Copies of this chain bind each other. A is one copy, B any other.
Amino acid sequence: MKNFEFYVPSDILFGRDQEKNLPEKLKSYGKKILLTYGGGSIKRSGLYDKLLTLLKDFEIFELSGIEPNPRVSTVNKGADICKKEGIDMILAVGGGSTIDCSKAIAAGAYYDGDAWDLVTGKAPIENAIPLAVVLTLAATGSEMDCAAVISNEATEEKLLMGHPLLLPRVSVLNPENTFSVPAYQTASGAADMMSHILESYFDQEEAFVPDAISEGLLRAVIKYAPIALKDPENYEARAQLMWTSSLALNGLVTTGKNFMWSCHYIEHELSAHYDITHGAGLAMLTPKWMRYVLSDATVDKFYTYAVNVWGVTPAEDKFAVANAGIDATEKFFKSIGLPMTLAEFNIDDSRFEEMAAKAVEVGYLKGAYVPLDEKDVAEILRMCM
């Protein structure tokens, strides 16, 4: 177990009607709120009206239309509003895209220039407007971590930025706010949180406690995602998925580990170039990556994964058990309605080498659980054909 720091001062308000506690939690930050959201779903669901009523003593500004795979142009737009209006805090109402965009806005508000500089690290993040969240999609874990993924439409780049100042101060996790999430987004969210857990579970550093927690969280998704798909207003299923999404990425499952991911960086290239849903891309890639890295060196871990997560019966043939776990992973993603091939996303092989090179460079994949170079990544992409 490696040394680590674990410090997650997000105040999580979990459960029905927790929005009502927001005014009390927010009042110390000031009066002017920038309300950020995506499309119109929060208006259709009534959440928008509910929040405006609750926050009637605050002055509300708005930035709507935040896109999936949020763009730096939107970040700059939000930062401009913050500067012009003297915004005191941001309230992100949505899923990972809205929250990530809001994190970048929070930092961008204190930066004179293109916020892309903060994403690339060309300029350091020195301050950020306090951020609060009302989560409407269980997926990215952005509600309880300090990272954001921002896309640059001009350069076709999708990069990760992170800073402790970007951690949400308060996050409202009301499972009822995910009742109306469509099946495909529910399934993609489930795949996203499973991927967050798996990326740290398969790590060069062994650590019993985070791995045992990981196995439990994975079993939670495997149990409850199909229930939520069948019965979208099943509170218990939505609640377990929502809490899992946060715990999958708040640092708990990486304590004492290397935190060197693999599939995410490959997927970021896919969604930077083709604008596909992040979780769906991960679901397609993960089983292929698993098959690609399975070897004498990794079989014991995949064996444990198969037995502890999927309930595969222990047996002498370690590879058979390991492969049964990988098969179960792929079968599960398929069963919740996610595409398992690039063809289903209408993606061909014309840009594999370009994407592979970028993934290796940005993701430091040569230091991953199983080190990957450009050829490896291109081969994993080919396995998705």
Contacts and interface: CB of A to CB of B under 8 A. Distances in A.
A223 B212 CA distance: 12
A5 interface: yes
Interface string A315-339: 0000000000000000000000000
The interface centre, meaning the residue of A1, A17, A217, A235 with most chain B CB atoms within 10 A of its CB, is A1
Contacts of A209: 216-217, 220, 240, 243-244, 247
Interface string A1-21: 111111111111111111000
A219 interface: yes
A38 to B, nearest CB: 26
A78 interface: no
A6 B2 contact: no
A213 interface: yes
A2 B235 CA distance: 11
A236 interface: yes
A301 B9 CA distance: 33
Nearest to A3: B15
Interface in A241-285: 243-244, 247, 252, 255-256
Interface string A193-230: 00000000000000111001101110110011000000
A4 B15 contact: yes
A239 interface: yes
A5 to B, nearest CB: 6
Interface residues of A, number: 40
Contacts of A256: 14-15, 239, 243
Interface in A165-215: 207-209, 212-213, 215
B6 A12 contact: yes
Nearest to A174: B3
Contacts of A212: 215-217, 219-220
Nearest to A8: B8
Nearest to A14: B4
A243 B5 CA distance: 12
A382 B10 CA distance: 46
A207 B175 CA distance: 14
Contacts of A17: 3
Nearest to A175: B1
A224 B240 contact: no
Nearest to A144: B6
B16 A5 contact: no
A207 B1 CA distance: 29
Nearest to A10: B7
Contacts of A244: 209
Contact of A216 (B5, B215, B235): B215
7 contacts: A1-B235, A5-B13, A5-B14, A207-B240, A208-B224, A209-B217, A209-B240
Interface of A: 1-18, 207-209, 212-213, 215-217, 219-220, 223-224, 235-236, 239-240, 243-244, 247, 252, 255-256
Top 8 nearest A-B pairs by Cβ distance? A3-B15, A212-B216, A9-B9, A6-B12, A7-B11, A1-B239, A208-B240, A209-B243
